Chain A
C-alpha cells in the first residue's frame, strides 16, 4: 500500500471506530419506550413481531 493510502485508511477507521458506537448509543437511547402503565395487549404489532424487516 502506498503511504498516503495507508494514512487515509487509518484515519477513516479511527473515525468509524469512534463515530459508529456513539451513533449506535444515541439511536438506542432515543428509541421510544413503553410507559409503565402500557396495556399488556398491543395493537401496533410489537408483540407479534410484525414490524419492518
Chain B
C-alpha cells in the first residue's frame, strides 16, 4: 500500500519473487532450445526461429496455467498464499512472454508479405466455415489483447481509479483469454503436429485448473450456505465461541444472504470487520493482527480494529460491525456500520480469558 503511486513498490520479497521467476523463464527457454530437439520429435529438424516461437508460446501457456492455479490453490491450502503476493508481476511477465511469441511469429511468417504484417495476419487465413481450419491466429490475438489490457491496468492506480468491483470484473476476463489460448493452441500447434508434451500441457492444465477452481468454488458456496445461526435476540447472529479465537486471529461468520464477517481478538478485546479487504477483496479474516493492526494475508493491507480505517496517511477503509459476548458466545449484528465508524473493541471478561488463551492456531 502507498500514498502516492509509483510504477513498482519494490521490496526484498518482490525482488526475490521476480528474480526467481526470471531465472525460471530463462532456464525454460534455454532447455527448450538446447535439449528440446533431443527430447521431442516435434522439435527435431526445425529451424531456430520456429523453435523460439514454440519455446515462448509453450512457456506463455505454462505460465498462464500457473497464474490461474495460484488463486484456487491459496483458497484450498494457505501454504500457497505467499504466491499470491506478487501474482500481478507473474501475470505481467506472462503477457511479455506471450508478446514475444507473437513478435517471433509475425517476424517469421509475415516478413516477406506484400501487405503489412498485421493485415497479412488477419487476411492470410479466412477459413471461417471450417472447424479444423478455422483461423486460430484470431484466438491468439484476442488472448494477447486481453493480457495486454490486464498488464496495463494491473497497477494499483487503475484499481483505485476503476474501483475494486469494476477492476475485478475486468480482470476476470483472463479466464476468457485462457479459453482463447486453449483454442489457439489446439487449432494451431496441436492439429499441425502431434506434440505429446504440448498436448499434455494443454489438456492436463485444463483438467487441473477446472478441478481446482471448481473445488475452491464449491467450498466457497458451502461456506456461504452455512450462514451463522441467528441468536434468540434480533438482529444478532452467533459467529462462534470465544475459545475458538486465538490471540491476534479471527473467526469468520456469514451473515444471512450477505457478506462474511471477521471477528478478531486482540489485547483482550473483540472487533468485528468485513472479511473483504478494500484492496483486492482478500479474506481479511484469514490474516492476523500485526503491531495492533488487522492485516490482510494477501498483500499486507492494514486496518485499525476500532474503526476499520488504514492508519494515516493511507485511506483504505472496511466496514465495522457491532459485536458482543453472551457468555462465551460471540454475537455480531450483521448490519454493517457506516465506513469509518469508531467502535472500541468489546472487552473480554477476565473469567473468560484463560480458557480462550489456551487455544492456539487459526480459528
Structural contact, B217 and A10, CB atoms closer than 8 A: yes
Q: Which of A14-52 contact B (CB under 8 A)?
A: 14, 16-17, 19-21, 23-24, 26-28, 30-32, 48-52
Binary A-proximity of B183-214 (CB < 8 A = 1, otherwise 0) = 10011111111000000000100100110011
Q: Closest chain B residue to A9 by CB distance? A: B217
B193 and A51: CB pair below 8 A?
yes
A10 to B72 alpha-carbon distance, docked (Å): 11
Complex contacts, A2 vs chain B, CB 8 Å: 165, 259, 276, 281
Would A52 and B213 count as touching, CB distance under 8 A?
A: no
In the complex, how many angstroms separate the beta carbon of A28 from the nearest chain B beta carbon?
Answer: 7
Interface centre among A8, A12, A17, A24 (most CB of B within 10 A): A24
What residues on A are CB-neighbors of B315 within 8 Å? none
CB of A17 within 8 A of CB of B57, answer no
- Judging by beta carbons under 8 Å apart, are B220 and A6 in contact? yes
Partner of B46, one of A12, A32, A49: A49
B211's nearest neighbour on chain A, judged by CB, is: A17
Return chain B residues, CB-CB under 8 Å to A30: 131-132
Whether A16 and B45, one on each chain, are in contact in the complex, defined by CB atoms closer than 8 angstroms, is: no
* Contacting pair B186 A53 (CB below 8 A): no
**Which one, B179, B193, B217, contacts A6 given CB within 8 A?**
B217
Using CB atoms, name the residue of chain B closest to A4: B165
Q: Does B261 sit within 8 A of A, measured CB to CB?
A: no
Using A3-B258, A9-B213, A10-B217 as known contacts, say yes or no to A23 and B193 having CB atoms under 8 A apart.
no
Dominant SS among interface residues on chain A: helix
> Given A1-B283, A53-B54: A24 and B203 within 8 A (CB)?
yes
B182 contacts partner chain A, Cβ-Cβ < 8 Å? yes
Q: How many B residues touch the partner, as a band?
A: 35 or more
B44: A residues at CB distance < 8 A: 49
Interface of B is mostly: helix
How big is the A interface, by class? 20 to 34
Q: Which residue of B lies closest to A26 (CB)?
A: B131
Is the Cβ of B224 less than 8 Å from the Cβ of A6?
yes
- Give the complex CA separation of A36 and B252 in angstroms: 64
Is B168 a contact of A5 with CB atoms below 8 Å? yes
Tell yes or no: B175 within 8 A of A by CB: yes
User: Which B residues lie within 8 Å of A50 (CB)?
Assistant: 45-46
The verdict on B362 contacting chain A, using a C-beta distance below 8 Å, is: no
Residues B186 and A27 in contact, CB atoms below 8 Å apart: yes
* Complex partner residue of B214 from A13, A28, A49, A53, CB under 8 angstroms: A13
25 example contacts (A-B, Cβ-Cβ < 8 A) are as follows A1-B281, A6-B221, A7-B221, A8-B169, A9-B217, A10-B217, A10-B220, A13-B175, A16-B175, A16-B178, A16-B179, A17-B210, A20-B210, A21-B206, A24-B182, A27-B131, A27-B132, A27-B191, A30-B132, A31-B132, A49-B44, A50-B46, A52-B109, A52-B188, A53-B108
What 4 pairs between A and B have smallest CB-CB spacing? A10-B217, A17-B210, A53-B53, A51-B192
Interface residues of B (CB under 8 A from A): 41-42, 44-46, 50, 53-54, 57, 105, 108-109, 131-132, 165, 168-169, 172, 175, 178-179, 182-183, 186-193, 203, 206, 209-210, 213-214, 217-218, 220-221, 224, 258-259, 276, 281, 283
